[in-house]
Each structure stands twice: as structure tokens, then as C-alpha cells.
Amino acid sequence: MAETRSEIHATADAGDARVPEAYLDRTLERYHTLPAPMRWYLLASSAAGVALAVMYIFALVPLLDLTYYFLLMACYLPAVFLLLPAYPGEHRAGWASYLPAAGILFLTLFMAYHSRSLIFGTWIPVRETWQLVTAAAIFVLVLEAARRSGGYIFLVIVAFLALYPVFAIHMPGILWGPPTTLSRTIAFNVFSGDAMLGVVTRVVAETIIGFLVLAALMVATGAADFFLKLALGLMGTARGGPAKVSVLASGFFGSLSGSIFGNVVSTGSVTIPSMKRSGFPGHYAGALEACASTGGMLMPPVMGAVAFIMADFTNTEYRVIVLAALIPSVLYYFGLYCHVDGFAARNDLKGLPRAELPKVRETLKEGWPFLVVLGFLVWGLVFMRWERLTPFYASALLIALTFLSPKLRLKLKTIPEILFQISKLLSQTMGLLLPTSFILGGLMATGVAPVVAASLVRMGGDAIVPVLAIGIGVCIIFGMLGMIVAAYLMLALTLAPALEQIAGLNTVAIHLFIAYYASLAAITPPVALAAFLASRISDSPPIKTSLHAARLGIVLYFVPIFFLFEPALILQGPFALTVLWTAMNVVAIIVIAAASEGQFWYFGKLSVWSRAILFIAGLFIGFPEWVSTVAGLAVVAATLAIPGAARHAVPLSSEARE
């Protein structure tokens, strides 16, 4: 990783953070064990991929879409096999890694050569044996990349859905599909614009690549360290300061990475020990970091891969997705802040001494280029509508601005590090996302997707609740397996059309709702992956940590339902309604967080009976409907007016807090 990552891990070691062995990033160590020619090959292919993307996206050289896609795969897919082990004991790349790397390199270059024939010819069904062999080899190697990137569960689910057309004829009811052959199914998955050469590959090759290049540059120049120091300087002295730093730092870092588990490891290895030293119980520290890191997946301007796929899938400008996610993400982090403040007030947890914290002015003086670049990114996406060009412009601006700061200035020796970061990010992204395109292939080849959507419409009739319940269940189940993109793709094909037909709901709201609930699984018991990972760092019971994560992240459970029924909350309605319902949701979050933590601003510690009433009343306040909102406000006012509902808090002892 970059110098910033090493600094973070050094701090983590000092704080006795124990990042689980399975989640440690070993790609850099593995890279250094490669022979020098292989290391130079990876760096050269990384540089070639960036140059290729710039030439294609800026139309400097005429290239067919499929030619570009296959050439980009040739630049980055081999790195999946070279940087990720074939089995746990493969610490150095051996034949089990070199052979598939060479195979996918040859096959993708071969397909780039034949891309014109693929566009203007008929390859589905295949007409030549060599076409089938090529498709089968690519199919198997992409599935192997899925195994190395996402694990065996990911592999099994992708393979099952990819090959679904082969046995769909034996499935019951709405899951039935017409008969097809294995050869046609594999060819469709690899050669079709509805599968591997469709929306997922297009988004990776044309949009995500620019943001990953920018992220690699930001990390290499020290952005992660800057945002962590800035959060410490801004929030460190406040009550419960280290926890508030965790919230702010994960939000900042999430704007760069868009990765839940990357956030937990990178920021959590620093913030969790800091929170524990300041008096927060281990389970609370782990739960808060899991929640804050999950929000990073949804934080504009650089969100997770789902946001880019959503924009392409719905034929919506990415800036619309960014703006739509703004208010919900701010509400979510505001909810975390309210929880932390309530817990700190109730337990009398002080902030850190100013002398121990970075000075905000000095931090800004060193790292102001990062804020300028983020501001430019927002300006380019939202106002100039440069879309996929914006991150490349932002990268050029960052490189230019680093020359004005001696500490950030790029040096020749950092260029290999940047190229390695780009290769790692792009290869891992392709290893995880390209296999999900086979899910689209399996559903589209059988025609099952529209049948399921129609069946959901018939099931729902005039009632939207059962259809929503099914969608939420599928989102959480797939999200629990870490398959957020897969969950989104499946439900975008099946649930989204059903919701549009049943209730005429806003398209962006529906797709954002699906994305939020798929991400929500990271903090939802019993398999809350982000909370479980954070619990390993915080040395706390996983189930207890995940239960607290679900409590702290309560905003993420109800806000998507609210904006589904009131699109003004995602800036898809009248501005007056946006202001009104945002204000009501702020009030609702204050009330809900107070009820959850048992501490209300000004009123003090809440009694047990008042907490339950206030929690329900808070949900009523936030729901975008006048009768429930007014009723909720009235209940809150009446409850707080009753003697004994609240009293000044008495700080708990450290033993009681534990």
C-alpha cells in the first residue's frame, strides 16, 4: 500500500489493534515476491490500461467498444491471478497463478483481435468449435477470478445463476424457463451484450476506472492520512471525541474508496483502539466503526460500484445519483453523531486534550489540495456534467496541485507505487464485478426476470407491502453474503419493474432503495460482515457488536422507506417538500437517537418507559405523511412534559459501561 497506509497500520499497532489475518492486505507482499520481470509487466500493463482508457474515453484514437473492453481486461485481469493466491498456502505466485494469468491474457487479446467479427457476426449460438472453446475458457477463468476475489460462496451463487438456463426447464412456477443447451448458455454469458459485454463491463471500463485512478493517486499522495488528521483536529476535543472522529473519518475515507470492508480495516485499525482508550466499550467502538464504514459506500461524490451501475442501468446521469444520495447519507451520519453524543453525555466521556491532537490550521495547510480536488469533483459531476471525464480532470488537477506542496509532491519513485495501486484496484474490481454480469446473463437468457416481475405485480395487487418485504428480504440475504452488486442486479431486473407498476414509484428512489438495503446487510445480524470484522479488531463478541451496529445504524433502516414514498428526500420532488421533510427527519433522528441511547439533549437521562414511546414517535415524525408526523410531534411533546420521563444523567462507572 501507500506510505499513508503504512502510517495508519503503524498507528494501529501502537494502539494494539488486531486486524484479522484474513483481512490483511497481502497483495503488496505478494507483489514483491514476484520476479522482477513480472513486477515490471504488472506496472507496464497498469500504465497501458490507463493510457488506453484515456485514449478511448477522450476519443483520441478510434476504438470499437468491444475492442477496448477486451484490451482493458487483458491489462488488468491477469493481475487478479498474480496478486491473489490460488489457495491459502500459496504465498508466492506459482504455476496455479501463472497459468491462468497467461491464459486470460491470451484469450482477451485474442478476442480483442476478433471483436469486429463478434460485433458484426453471429456468435450465439457458436458456429465453430474454437468459438465454444474460447467462451468456455473465458467463462471458467472469470469464475476462478470470482473465487479468488469473493470466495467460494460468491463463486457458487454466480455459477448457479449463470448456468440457470440449463436447468430452468426443471424449475417450478415462475422460476421455469425454456430449455437451452450448456454451450449456448456459456456463449451467451461471454459474448452477449446482456451479460459479460453489457452494463457491468461498460461501467467498469468507462466510468469506474477514472474514479479508481483518482483514488489511487489520492491514497499515494497521503489523502487518507490527511482526512484522519482533519477529523481528529475538528472533533477530537468534543465529548466522545474519538468516536466522532470515527464517524467523520470514515465518511471522508468512504468518499475515496466506496468500500465497506476497506473502510473498517483502514480507519478502524486507528479509531477503534482510540475509542476504547477514551472509555467506549469494545462492542460499541466496533459497532460504530462498522456503521460509519458502511455509510462510506453511500457517501457522495465517490460512491460504491452499485451507484455507477445504477446510473447506467436506469439511463440516469451520475450527478443525479450523487445528488439523490446526498440527503440520506448526511442524515445517516447525523444519526451516528447523535448516538455518539448521547452515549458520551450519559457516561461523561470527555474528548482528547487539544495538545495531543493535530492542529486544524496546520493540517489544512498541508492537505488543502485534497479538499480542492474533492470540491472540483463535485463541481464537475453536478454542475458541469462531465460524467466519466470528471475523475480524469480531477486526477490531473491533483497532480498539478501537489507541486505546490513539498510534502505532497509526487516523486519519480512513487510512480511505480501509483501504478501498482491502480493495477490492484482495477484487477480486484474486475474480479468481483465481471462475474456478476453472468447473473444478468442467466436471468436474461431464460426470460425469467420479466416473469418474476409480473408475478410480483400480481402478488402485490394493490398492496405494496408484501412486494417490498420480499425485496428487502432478498437484499439482506444477498448482502449478508457480501454480494451487494449481485443483489442490486437481481432486484433491478425483477423488483424494480414490479414496484413501478404497482405503485408508480419514482425510478431513482426504487433503485436507491435497493442499493441501500443491500448495503444494510453489512450491519444486520446474524451475518453482519462489517460488524463481525470490526469486532475482531475491537476484541468484542461478534453478535453483541452486530446487534449494537444495527441499533446505531437505525437510520439506514427507515430512511430508504421514507424516500421511497417521498422522492423529495432524494431531490426528486419540489424543493419546498425537500426542505420540509429533511427538517422533519432531522427532528426524527434526534428523537430516535435519544431514545436509543437513553439521553436527550437538554432533558437529560430518559426513563425506560419514555424511551420506547419516544422511539416509536420518532419513526412517526420522520414518515413523510402529515397525520403521522403531527401525531409523532405531539406524543414527543406530551411525553417529555410528564414528570419522571427524563432527569439529569448520572455518569456510569467504567465497570458499568463494560
Distance CA 123, CA 130 (A): 11
CB atoms within 10 A of CB 127: 11
The radius of gyration computed from the CA coordinates of the chain, to the nearest angstrom, equals 25
| C-alpha to C-alpha distance for 504 and 133, rounded to whole angstroms | 46
- Choose between 337 and 21: higher pLDDT: 337
Contact 295, 329 (CB under 8 A): yes
**CB 392, CB 210: distance < 8 Å:** yes
Summarize the confidence of residues 437-450 as an average pLDDT. 79
* Residue 47 neighbours by CB under 8 Å, 6+ apart: 419
pLDDT digits (tens, 9 = 90+) for 362-418: 888 888 899 899 899 889 988 888 888 999 999 999 999 988 877 777 778 889 989
Residue 257: band (very low, low, confident or very high) from pLDDT cuts 50, 70, 90: low
Whether 618 is in a domain gets the answer yes
| Residue 21, pLDDT score | 59
Q: 234 in a domain, yes or no? A: yes
Residue 651 has pLDDT above 70, yes or no: no
**Domain contains 347:** yes
Q: Per the structure block, which three cell numbers stand in for 344?
A: 458520551
> Which of 8-22, 179-193, 194-208, 639-653 is predicted least confidently?
8-22
Query: C-alpha cell of 268?
Result: 478502524
Q: How high is the pLDDT of residue 115?
A: 95
Q: How far apart are CA 256 and CA 221, in angstroms?
A: 13
Buried b (16+ CB within 10 A) or exposed e, 586-618: bbbbbbbbbbbbbbbeeebbbeeebbebbbebb
Do 496 and 514 form a contact (C-beta atoms < 8 A)?
Answer: yes
Residue at a domain's end among 435, 456, 483: 435
Spatial distance between the Cα atoms of 317 and 321, rounded to a whole number of angstroms = 7
Going by C-alpha positions, the residue among 299, 321, 301 that lies closest to residue 309 is 321
Which is more confidently placed, 199 or 482?
Answer: 199
More confident residue, 465 or 149: 149
Q: What is the pLDDT of residues 211-244, one digit of tens each?
A: 889 888 888 888 878 888 888 888 888 888 888 8
Please state, in angstroms and rounded to a whole number, the distance separating the CA atoms of residues 25 and 18. Answer: 13
Alpha-carbon gap, residue 221 to 2, rounded angstroms: 8
Identify which of 578, 576, 560 has the alpha carbon closest to the alpha carbon of residue 568. Answer: 578
Tell whether 75 is covered by a domain: no
Per the structure, the complete domain to which residue 608 belongs is given by: 587-658
Confidence tier at 499 by pLDDT (50, 70, 90):
confident
DSSP 552-605: HTTHHHHHHHHHHH-GGGGT-S-HHHHHHHHHHHHHHHHHHHHHHHTEETTTEE
Distance CA 105, CA 88 (A): 24
Q: Please tell me the distance from the alpha carbon of residue 140 to that of residue 152, in angstroms, as a whole number.
A: 14
Give the pLDDT band (50/70/90) at residue 502. confident
Largest CA distance in the chain: 83
**Tally of structural domains, the chain:** 2
| Number of residues assigned to the chain | 658
pLDDT at 5 over 90: no
Residue 294 counted as domain residue: yes
Residue after which a domain boundary falls, among 435, 455, 480: 435
Taking residue 644's Cβ as centre, other Cβ atoms within 10 Å add up to 8
Residue 79 covered by a domain: no
* Contact in structure between 442 and 184 (CB atoms under 8 Å): no
556 pLDDT band, cuts 50/70/90, is confident
**Strands across the sheet with 604-606, in order?**
599-600, 604-606, 646-647
Helix residue spans in 352-414 (DSSP H): 360-378, 390-402
Q: Is the pLDDT of residue 524 over 90?
A: no
Instruction: Choose among 578, 143, 149, 601: nearest CA to 346.
Output: 601
In a domain, 423, yes or no: yes
Q: Which residues of 254-274 are buried (b: 16+ CB within 10 A; e: fewer)?
A: bbbbbbbbbbbbbbbbbbbbb
First-to-last CA distance in the chain? Answer: 35
pLDDT (0 to 100) of residue 658:
42
Domain's final residue, options 407, 435, 463: 435
Beta bridge partners, 599, equal 605
b/e burial code for range 299-325 (CB count within 10 A of at least 16 → b): bbbbbbbbbbbbbbbbeeebbbbbbbb
For range 486-491, the mean pLDDT: 82
Domain membership of residue 121 (yes or no) is: no
